[in-house]
Amino acid sequence: MKNSLPEKLAVYEDARRNAFISALNLKSAGGSLCGIFGFAFPKEIVWAADMVPVNVFSIDDSNTAAAEQLWGKEYCSLLKASYGYAVTGKCPFMYFSDLIAMADSCKAKHELLDKLAETKNIYKLDAADDLEKLAASYHKFAAFLEEEFAVSITEAKLESAIKQSNTVNKQLHKLISFYQANPHVLGCLDFYNITYGSSFIFDLQERRRMLVNLLRALQNMALEMQAPLNPKTVLLTGAPQAGLREKILKLLQEILQDTAVICFSTCEGEYLELADEKPEPYMALAQKYINCQTTLSVETVIQKFKAAAVIDVVLTGCCKSTAIDVIKNDIPCLHLETDYTEADTQKTAVAIAEFIKAL
């Protein structure tokens, strides 16, 4: 970790693994866990139900073979890996989840949840491209949680959850802005570990507190270093990077100088846009999430981060249109297809190195 704060960064690097214990403690104390498949999911409703939402996608291929025996080899590497962990009972998050839920148009994810329904309680949010219909879908989900788990989701609790989520996202916005201006202070793998790892800190107030302290430490470090004159940003789109950190992010951290790498996947993770705190809360959430999985989002993110280049990563078997097919901006793009195995590690490294050199 170049120019990093090892003790603070190690917390985020290990956050997912440490959250296994948090999940166990939560269940032991009588709490409820909601496993999430997908990106555009209104986790605020889950928080308002006094449940903890957690991303349950797998990040390695160690149980893929088990999934292929029951499901087939043609599916997306990410989903096969996730299903493999589910059927072998080796994913603590899935094991402890009282509910597995999703909000996604991906056909393969729907098939995955149908398979999981054989052993788990599942919920699929109704898709909608209209604000009122999406808000109604969220109302329906809240009513389901109330009945299924004997909880009460009041408007006050939902408004509180929205505000807490916003405070965390505002802090992450500050961290992203700092990183883009100071990529010499923090490597892209370290930065990804922070943004990804923070999502596994179950207490939102604690999550924000830790991010505030980390940013303060990084800002102090930056004062002692010479900042780059013209830092660039590369956008890494497509597949979630959690299972590709060693293959892609570690390599980029080694070869990129004075360049930030921002990861943007519409498959899983945290959607960091803020919800408007003034409207009726279900409508506010509908406004937040309605466009976040459209191709327009990729265009918007390129412009928002002033990306100088795009690396689009697709996992073998993915049925979605890739970001590189819809990017209209006149900037360099590299398309990579890979999976969670190490078979193409050298090929991937060569392609990335040649692309970065050409920039």
What values do phi and psi take at 101, rounded to 5?
-130, 160
Please indicate, yes or no, whether residues 279 and 183 belong to a single structural domain of this protein. yes
Asked whether the predicted pLDDT for residue 261 surpasses 70, the reply is: yes
Q: How confident is the model at residue 4 (pLDDT cuts 50, 70, 90)?
A: low
Please indicate, yes or no, whether residues 230 and 319 belong to a single structural domain of this protein. yes
Q: What is the pLDDT of residue 103?
A: 87
Q: What is the pLDDT of residue 1?
A: 41
Q: Model confidence over 72-89: pLDDT tens digits?
A: 777 888 888 899 999 899
Q: Pick the more confident residue, 71 or 134.
A: 134
The mean of the pLDDT values for the chain is: 90
Please indicate, yes or no, whether residues 74 and 176 belong to a single structural domain of this protein. no
Q: What is the pLDDT of residue 181?
A: 95
Q: Which of 102, 130, 154 is the last residue of a domain?
A: 154
Q: Which of 132, 154, 176 is the last residue of a domain?
A: 154
Q: What is the pLDDT of residue 68?
A: 87
Asked whether the predicted pLDDT for residue 316 surpasses 90, the reply is: no
Contacts 24+ apart (CB under 8 A), 25-29: 26/52, 26/96, 26/202, 27/96
Q: Pick the more confident residue, 302 or 210.
A: 210
User: How many percent of the chain have pLDDT more than 90?
Assistant: 65
Q: What angle do CA 273, 274, 276 make, to 5 degrees?
A: 140
* CA diameter of the chain: 58
Please indicate, yes or no, whether residues 199 and 335 belong to a single structural domain of this protein. yes
Query: How many structural domains comprise the chain?
Result: 2
User: How many percent of the chain have pLDDT more than 70?
Assistant: 94
Q: Domain range for residue 316?
A: 156-358
For residue 297 the two structure tokens come to 């989002």
Q: Tell whether 1 is covered by a domain.
A: no
Please indicate, yes or no, whether residues 76 and 167 belong to a single structural domain of this protein. no
Q: Return the CATH number at 163.
A: 3.40.50.11900
Please indicate, yes or no, whether residues 344 and 232 belong to a single structural domain of this protein. yes
Asked whether the predicted pLDDT for residue 22 surpasses 80, the reply is: yes
Q: How far apart are CA 35 and CA 52, in angstroms?
A: 8
Report the half-sphere exposure of 273 (CA within 13 A, side-chain side): 21
Query: Residue range 162-191: average pLDDT?
Result: 96
Q: How far apart are CA 275 and CA 273, in angstroms?
A: 7
Q: What is the pLDDT of residue 318?
A: 82
Query: Residue range 261-272: average pLDDT?
Result: 86
Q: Model confidence over 330-341: pLDDT tens digits?
A: 789 999 999 888
Least confident of 217-226, 295-304, 317-326: 317-326
Please indicate, yes or no, whether residues 147 and 166 belong to a single structural domain of this protein. no
Least confident of 15-24, 201-210, 256-265, 328-337: 328-337
Q: What is the pLDDT of residue 295?
A: 44
Q: How confident is the model at residue 297 (pLDDT cuts 50, 70, 90)?
A: low
Q: Return the CATH number at 119.
A: 3.40.50.11890
Q: Model confidence over 217-242: pLDDT tens digits?
A: 999 999 998 888 889 999 998 888 88
Q: Model confidence over 99-150: pLDDT tens digits?
A: 999 987 788 888 889 999 999 999 999 888 889 999 999 999 999 999 999 9
Please indicate, yes or no, whether residues 163 and 312 belong to a single structural domain of this protein. yes
Please indicate, yes or no, whether residues 304 and 227 belong to a single structural domain of this protein. yes
Q: How far apart are CA 216 and CA 208, in angstroms?
A: 12
Q: How confident is the model at residue 2 (pLDDT cuts 50, 70, 90)?
A: very low
